Amino acid sequence: MKLIQCSRGSLTPMVLFGLMGMGLVAASLLFYSRSVTREIHGAEKYMAEKKIIMERMNLFVAEFLQDSTPEADSPRDLEGMGGFVQRLEGRFEFEFSQGTTLVAEEVSSRLNPNFDSMDLWRSCFLVERCSSYTALALWEEDRIVTGFLEDPEDFHWIIYPQDWRCFYSVYSPLVLQGGEKKIIEVYLKGNLWNQADIDAFWGNIEDLINAGGISQEELSHVVSLSGGAPALQIEPGWNVNFMDPQLLTAMAEYPWGGSGITNPSDVVYQLLKERRVGEVNEADLGQILKPGFDRGREAFLKRFGVRSWFWKITVRRENLGMEFILRRIPSGPVEADHTALEPAMQVVSERILQ
């Protein structure tokens, strides 16, 4: 048999290609290993950053809920917190260690295009600021038929973006004794209630009102019978300490209860004066709204209060930013021994910022 002879120091093509292939495989494995290592390191760094952000957000909320005037929320509460830097156009900016910054913004003391009456819009300057009266009329019909929208950008065909942050929000409670019945029913259907549940709900509510009134605890119990409706509450939804002065002025002039409140311009003046020197609490609000047109006063106090319900919290670090929407839990129900639950907030949504 004839043998293939090779000169010393030379390689056959087969061996050469084999070595080249092994080199390519080794290089690929090394590249893959380094890529995996980088991904693992990146994931670990992301989780570490997110943990710091979550901890900072929770510490902020805990401090906010323990302020010295828990019966009312106001800018004064935020300005007295640790890390506060400045207030800029309704946003409260904070700085902390490790390069962490936080911005808090109250977002519930505004008109909610999902929940609030179009009659209220028409009576305010806001209808003049909509993109068109026709668009507003279309939305009045659409929200009953198709349900509510959750993304603010979905309303830009009605509301100019530059007006949105001052006057509007999709984050607000739906106040039982101030909301329209048909709007409440749209909301309940959106929470998967059937018509039988809704009819039973109204029957229970009517019985409670006829028996002398309804508390947040009683409303929570009635709602729980059909699965829940977290945005529905008794307590007023708009905080006079945070409302834009232009919006507060316009809404004070609305004929609440059919008659309106006495001297709305004077009421707004007194409220803004109290805001400048401190905060408006429930006692202040009751004194400023002097008894007179009782129907208007009662209706006004069902919608306007001194507590905030939704907050947008933005926390940033060098390599990561997150935005949270927080909802304050209403005061009811209470513990078995009839002591009130500690104030608390829950995260409604969170998203990563680019």
In a domain, 104, yes or no: yes
Q: What is the pLDDT of residue 336?
A: 44
What pTM does this model have? Answer: 0.84
pLDDT of residue 138: 86
| Domain-ending residue, one of 185, 216, 234 | 234
What SS3 state is found at 237?
coil
Q: What distance separates the 2 farthest-apart alpha carbons in the chain?
A: 123
Q: What are the pLDDT digits (tens) for 278-332?
A: 999 999 999 998 766 567 888 899 999 999 999 999 999 988 999 999 999 886 5
How far the first Cα of the chain sits from its last, in Å, is 72
Residues 223 and 327 in one domain: no
Domain region containing 125? 115-234
> Does residue 320 fall inside a structural domain?
yes
pLDDT at 103 over 90: yes
Pairwise CA distance, residues 222 & 208, whole Å: 10
**Is the pLDDT confidence value at 224 over 60?**
yes
Check whether residue 210 and residue 321 sit in a common domain: no
Q: Name the one residue in this structure whose structure tokens are 């409220």.
A: 271
Q: Average pLDDT of the chain?
A: 85
- Report how far residue 171's alpha carbon sits from residue 150's, in angstroms, rounded to the nearest whole number: 9
Nearest to 111 by CA among 329, 272, 281, 303: 303
CB contact at 8 A, 244 and 167: yes
**Angular region, 279: left φ>0, alpha ψ -120 to 50, beta rest:** beta
**Same domain, yes or no: 62 and 147:** no
Residue 242 domain-assigned? no
| 86 and 135, same domain (yes or no) | no
How many structural domains does the chain have? 2
pLDDT in tens, 146-187: 889 888 888 888 888 788 888 899 999 999 988 889 999 999
Tell whether 203 and 313 lie within a shared domain.
no
